[in-house]
């Protein structure tokens, strides 16, 4: 599914409810909450913190998708085309950070 389609699917979902889109501040709080849940899962999988036996099993993929959903929701409410925004960001990284890290295609002299 293309980003434009994802934004439309989310918009269709949100518009079926009378409350509609939440305020940008409320959505920022949701982004923070969802990123925290993602961080918790990553900590369980890769960190030292073990999951409690009473905690539900969740996958990192599920938490990433939750973050994506709320990011799309926030973009929609602010009338942001995420495809365009992403392309702008990639242009920035491809120019500003082109040589920031050692590149795979560079030969090392040893």
Lowest mean pLDDT among 22-31, 76-85, 101-110: 101-110
pLDDT of the residue at 109: 53
- Residue 34 placed within a domain: yes
| Per-residue model confidence (pLDDT) at position 90 | 93
Determine, yes or no, domain membership for 89: yes
Report whether 70 contacts 6 (CB < 8 A): no
The range of the structural domain enclosing residue 50 comes to 3-96
Q: Is the pLDDT of residue 66 over 70?
A: yes
CATH number at residue 54: 1.10.287.1080
- Rounded-to-integer distance, Cα 44 and Cα 41, Å: 5
Whether residue 20 is contained in a domain is answered as yes
> Which tens digit of pLDDT belongs to each residue from 7-62?
999 999 999 999 999 999 999 999 999 999 999 999 988 888 777 767 776 789 99
pTM: predicted TM-score of the whole model, two decimal places: 0.82
Residue at 106 is within a domain: no
Total number of domains constituting the chain:
1
């Amino acid at each position: 599914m293309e980003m434009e389609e994802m934004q439309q699917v989310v918009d269709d979902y949100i518009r079926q409810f009378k409350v509609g889109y939440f305020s940008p501040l409320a959505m920022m709080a949701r982004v923070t909450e969802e990123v925290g849940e993602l961080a918790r899962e990553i900590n369980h999988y890769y960190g030292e913190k073990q999951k409690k036996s009473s905690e539900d099993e969740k996958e990192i993929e599920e938490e990433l998708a939750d973050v994506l959903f709320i990011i799309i929701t926030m973009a929609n409410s602010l009338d942001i085309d995420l495809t365009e925004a992403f392309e702008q960001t990639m242009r920035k990284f491809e120019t500003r950070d082109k040589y920031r890290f050692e590149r795979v295609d560079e030969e090392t002299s040893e």
